[in-house]
Amino acid sequence: MTRQGGPTIKSYYDQTIGNIDSPLRMADRSIQGFFSSQFTEAEVPAFNVARLRVRPGREADFQIGFQNAPLNWPGLLSASLIQTGESTFCLIGEWTEASAIADAHDTMMATVDTFRHTLEPGRIRDHVFGPVVLALK
């Protein structure tokens, strides 16, 4: 799953959340009480958020692109697209577990490629993901 030109999200995951000695994993261990009260370790869901900036005037094409895209990404439970500004959107995905997000990276990028022409160049601005530490409601 390695892409040419740089590390994959999977390698990022392996260096951060997947690395038992990483600061993220150590912080994760410090909040185990949250996990134990709501989920077994094997069933901790995860979320990702990707912020995207769309070319002015292409918002409708962008939304149609997402609406028509097959979101058959392995491990994806649900996905929502929200508009956060005039030409800014966030995709919020709920996943079976954090590793599913990393595993689906190439498939997600292939989906985005089908409507990348509606995005400002290089404008997947932020992409963050992680396991649920506390389900509030």
- Whether 62 maps to a domain, the answer reads yes
- What CA–CA distance (Å, rounded) separates 3 from 25? 25
State the DSSP code for 75. Answer: T
**pLDDT-derived band of residue 77, with 50, 70 and 90 as boundaries?**
very high
Q: Which CATH number does the domain housing residue 40 bear?
A: 3.30.70.100
Provide the pLDDT for residue 44: 80
Report yes or no on 85 lying in a domain.
yes
Query: Burial level of 108, CB count in 10 A (0-12/13-18/19+)?
Result: buried
Task: Classify residue 58: in a domain, yes or no.
Answer: yes
Number of domains in the chain: 1
Is there a domain that residue 122 lies in?
Answer: yes
Say if 1 falls within a structural domain: no
Has residue 53 been placed in a domain? yes
In which band, very low, low, confident or very high, does the pLDDT at 81 lie, cut at 50, 70 and 90?
Answer: very high
Phi-psi region of 135 (alpha: psi -120 to 50; beta: other; left: phi over 0): beta
pLDDT for the residue 26: 43
Q: Is residue 3 part of a domain?
A: no
Domain extent at residue 78: 9-131
Provide mean pLDDT across the span 29-33.
40
Mean of the per-residue pLDDT values for the chain?
A: 75
With cut-offs at 50, 70 and 90, classify the pLDDT of residue 123: low
| Position 2 in a domain | no
